[in-house]
RNA sequence: GGAGAGGUGGCUGAGUGGUUGAAAGCGGCGGUCUCGAAAACCGUUAUGGGGGCAACUCCAUCCAGGGUUCGAAUCCCUGCUUCUCCGCCA
């Protein structure tokens, strides 16, 4: 969530930044209005509470001295009733502000390319080259069907469309990929975690997925639990409501989980096979760091994610998302896209985001900062997340790029010690 | 799922209605002492929200949310959670 104080103190900046995202800014004026009402009520209530506290102490003394305090008690009863009323009013005002605030996205960082939609994203890096095949390339569905390593029909029978079933060496190479990615990230200083994949509402809120994206989540109503859309959610919540030590930062985690997305409203677009699924596997990177270092850390995270693709020798590019396309919680975002020979286009396989203090404010994740004069100050950490990487679209690119004329798949060299086989 | 006992500051742990935002100890930080260190001693050590240029000051917070009361860490209700025992179970 945005800082209400920023809206209070520098609304012009907030408006300017939100316009870059093509957001409706009328809501800011509304928030300002409610906020000033909120401050009024707080002042009134606090003054009355102060009075009540003072007189209550006096009553205590009077009682001890065996004096009659009934008059003062009667007075305070009135004050107390008034306080109660104001507290109710305050609570209502606060939920009103939150209802608006929870739907306002993060402000884009300075220097982000301006644009209205994904079409205006900017290509930053292209790695590798397209291979030349002297035969007609098959797509991942055809390949995997022939080799019987992926079974989308039976996955659909078990759960519904978009729930892939991995079989034989398909399952093996998926498992190898995950292990390879984790092992690689661990050597770069990420601590591996294996978190719960059903999380409570508080965790979803802290990660800024709810209420805004509630319809995109699988939810277990009975217990009000959500299936995570990404490991980012449980990993961020490791430190919810905590104050970290400055010397512990940057604190880096990696973790593999299944990810679940309802993809409500996206039917019909890129849905075949692995291109868009409800359940997929992903190794996630999360970094808690100081505000001063977050953009540098972001570049490092991008390098760490790209290192996986380089090791696998997959042709990819990095694009920087324009203001109109960056995600709700992010101030800056890079997407890594892998080349699909069969689709003849780039597929998003990773997204590296700097969410600055947008999530940490809601999740209350802070750190103790030591100032130059030796005093300490509690400050929100910056949180970065990145896929390192999601396997499904990566599999599309990998299967296609490594196919032979006969329809077999050559296993990338770095994976062989994990798979135990070198061809499918 | 059943029975019972708990949840207090970074940690241990006192506190059962009135200067308790909270004793004491440990830890942390600063200082005295020392060539230096340890020990000892002294001081300091929560978070959020108002107000103030500032010194500072007010409000809230003892798992969470309600309630009783002039006044709640302390009493009542609900939820969450931890531990022990039983049941079920990978």
Query: DSSP string of A235-249?
Result: HHHTTTTEEEEGGG-
User: Do the beta carbons of residue A85 and residue A95 sit within 8 Å?
Assistant: no
Burial of A218 (0-12, 13-18, 19+ CB in 10 A): middle
Nucleotide of closest approach to A242 (CA, C1') = B47
CATH code of the domain containing A386: 3.30.930.10
Mean local confidence (pLDDT), A144-161? 94
Nucleotide of closest approach to A378 (CA, C1') = B47
Residue A269 has pLDDT above 70, yes or no: no
| A179 CB less than 7 Å from any atom of strand B | no
A376 or A125, greater pLDDT: A125
% chain A with pLDDT above 90? 86
- Say if A108 falls within a structural domain: no
Nucleotide of closest approach to A61 (CA, C1') = B18
pLDDT of residue A268: 60
Q: Which of residues 19-48 of A touch strand B (CB under 7 A)?
A: 39, 42-43, 45-47
A258 and A137 in a common domain: yes
Mean local confidence (pLDDT), A290-301? 96
pLDDT of residue A67: 86
A249 and A164 in a common domain: yes
Residue A303 binned pLDDT confidence (cut-offs 50, 70, 90):
very high
pLDDT, one tens digit per residue, over A234-254 is 999 999 998 898 888 899 999
Residue A369 has pLDDT above 90, yes or no: no
Q: Separation of CA A374 and C1' B39 in angstroms? A: 27
Going by the DSSP 8-state scheme, the letter that residue A141 receives in this structure is H
Q: End of a domain among A101, A129, A154?
A: A101
3-state SS, residue A183: helix
Residue A289, CA distances (Å) to A19, A107, A199, A352, A372 in order:
28, 19, 24, 15, 19
Beta bridge partners of A339: A346
pLDDT of residue A68: 87
pLDDT of residue A224: 86
Q: What is the mean pLDDT of chain A?
A: 93
- Say if A106 falls within a structural domain: no
Mean local confidence (pLDDT), A285-308? 97
CATH code of the domain containing A31: 1.10.287.40
Mean local confidence (pLDDT), A276-297? 96
- Say if A269 falls within a structural domain: yes
Q: Residue with CA nearest B45 C1'?
A: A376
Nucleotide of closest approach to A52 (CA, C1') = B70
- Say if A111 falls within a structural domain: no
Q: Separation of CA A376 and C1' B45 in angstroms? A: 11
| A91 CB less than 7 Å from any atom of strand B | yes
A372 and A320 in a common domain: yes
A123 and A97 in a common domain: no
Lowest mean pLDDT among A51-60, A215-224, A381-390, A394-403: A215-224
User: Residue A154 region, left (φ>0) first, then alpha (ψ -120 to 50), else beta?
Assistant: alpha
| A6 CB less than 7 Å from any atom of strand B | no
| A4 CB less than 7 Å from any atom of strand B | yes
What CA–CA distance (Å, rounded) separates A424 from A144? 10
Residue A280, CA distances (Å) to A155, A168, A178, A230 in order:
12, 17, 12, 9
User: Do the beta carbons of residue A369 and residue A363 sit within 8 Å?
Assistant: no
| A78 CB less than 7 Å from any atom of strand B | no
User: Do the beta carbons of residue A138 and residue A403 sit within 8 Å?
Assistant: yes
% chain A with pLDDT above 70? 98
A129 and A69 in a common domain: no
Beta bridge partners of A251: A288
Q: Separation of CA A397 and C1' B5 in angstroms? A: 58
Q: Separation of CA A204 and C1' B29 in angstroms? A: 37
Q: Residue with CA nearest B44 C1'?
A: A375
Q: Separation of CA A366 and C1' B39 in angstroms? A: 36
What CA–CA distance (Å, rounded) separates A50 from A48? 5
A74 and A215 in a common domain: no
User: Residue A332 region, left (φ>0) first, then alpha (ψ -120 to 50), else beta?
Assistant: beta
State which residues form the domain around A24: 4-101
Backbone angles phi and psi of A293, in degrees to 5: -105, -5
Nucleotide of closest approach to A84 (CA, C1') = B67
A156 and A96 in a common domain: no
pLDDT of residue A371: 76
Q: How many structural domains is chain A composed of?
A: 2
pLDDT of residue A267: 60
Q: End of a domain among A45, A72, A101?
A: A101
Q: Separation of CA A349 and C1' B28 in angstroms? A: 45
Residue A51 has pLDDT above 70, yes or no: yes
Q: Which of residues 346-385 of A touch strand B (CB under 7 A)?
A: 366, 368, 374, 376, 378
Q: Which two tokens stand for residue A221?
A: 């109503």
pLDDT of residue A114: 96
Q: How far apart are the first and last CA of chain A?
A: 47
Residue A342 binned pLDDT confidence (cut-offs 50, 70, 90):
very high
Q: Which two tokens stand for residue A168?
A: 């034989």
Residue A11 binned pLDDT confidence (cut-offs 50, 70, 90):
very high
Residue A293 has pLDDT above 90, yes or no: yes
Mean local confidence (pLDDT), A37-42? 95
Nucleotides of strand B within 7 Å of the protein's CB atoms: 18-19, 29-30, 46-51, 58-60, 66-67, 69-71
Mean local confidence (pLDDT), A346-366? 95
pLDDT of residue A177: 97
| A77 CB less than 7 Å from any atom of strand B | yes
């Amino acid at each position: 969530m945005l800082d209400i104080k920023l809206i209070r103190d520098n609304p012009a900046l907030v408006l300017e930044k939100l316009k870059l995202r093509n957001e409706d800014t009328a809501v800011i004026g509304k928030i300002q209005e409610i906020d000033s009402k909120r401050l009024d009520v707080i002042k009134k209530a606090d003054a009355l509470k102060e009075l009540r506290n003072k007189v209550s102490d006096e009553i205590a003394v009077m009682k001890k001295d065996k004096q009659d305090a009934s008059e003062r008690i009667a007075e305070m009863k009135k004050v107390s009733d008034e306080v109660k009323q104001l507290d109710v009013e305050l609570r209502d005002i606060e939920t009103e502000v939150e209802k608006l605030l929870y739907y306002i996205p993060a402000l884009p960082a300075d220097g982000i390319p301006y644009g209205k939609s994904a079409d205006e994203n900017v290509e930053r890096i292209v790695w590798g080259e397209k291979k030349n095949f002297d035969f007609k390339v098959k797509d991942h569905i055809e390949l995997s069907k022939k080799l019987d390593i992926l079974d989308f029909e039976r996955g659909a029978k078990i759960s519904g469309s978009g729930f892939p079933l991995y079989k034989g060496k398909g399952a093996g190479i998926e498992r190898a990929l995950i292990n390879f990615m984790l092992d690689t990230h661990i050597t770069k200083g990420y601590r591996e975690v294996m978190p719960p994949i059903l999380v409570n509402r508080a965790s979803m809120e802290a990660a800024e997925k709810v209420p805004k994206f509630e319809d995109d989540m699988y939810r277990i109503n009975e217990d009000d639990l959500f299936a995570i859309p990404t490991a980012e959610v449980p990993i961020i919540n490791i430190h919810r409501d905590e104050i970290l030590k400055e010397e512990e930062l940057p604190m880096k985690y990696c973790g593999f989980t299944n990810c679940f997305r309802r993809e409500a409203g996206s039917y019909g677009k890129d849905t075949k096979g692995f291109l868009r699924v409800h359940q997929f596997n992903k190794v996630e990177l999360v970094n808690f760091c100081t505000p001063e270092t977050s953009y540098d850390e972001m570049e490092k995270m991008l390098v760490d994610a790209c290192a996986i693709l380089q090791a696998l020798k997959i042709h990819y590019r990095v694009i920087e998302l324009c203001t109109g396309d960056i995600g709700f919680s992010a101030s800056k975002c890079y997407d890594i896209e892998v080349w699909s020979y069969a689709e003849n286009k780039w597929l998003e396989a990773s997204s590296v985001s700097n969410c600055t203090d947008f999530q940490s404010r809601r999740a209350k994740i802070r750190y103790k900062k030591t100032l130059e004069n030796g005093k300490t100050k509690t400050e929100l950490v910056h949180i970065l997340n990145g896929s390192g990487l999601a396997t499904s679209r990566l599999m599309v690119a990998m299967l296609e790029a490594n196919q032979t004329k006969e329809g077999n798949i050559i296993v990338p060299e770095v994976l062989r010690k994990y798979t135990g086989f070198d061809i499918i």
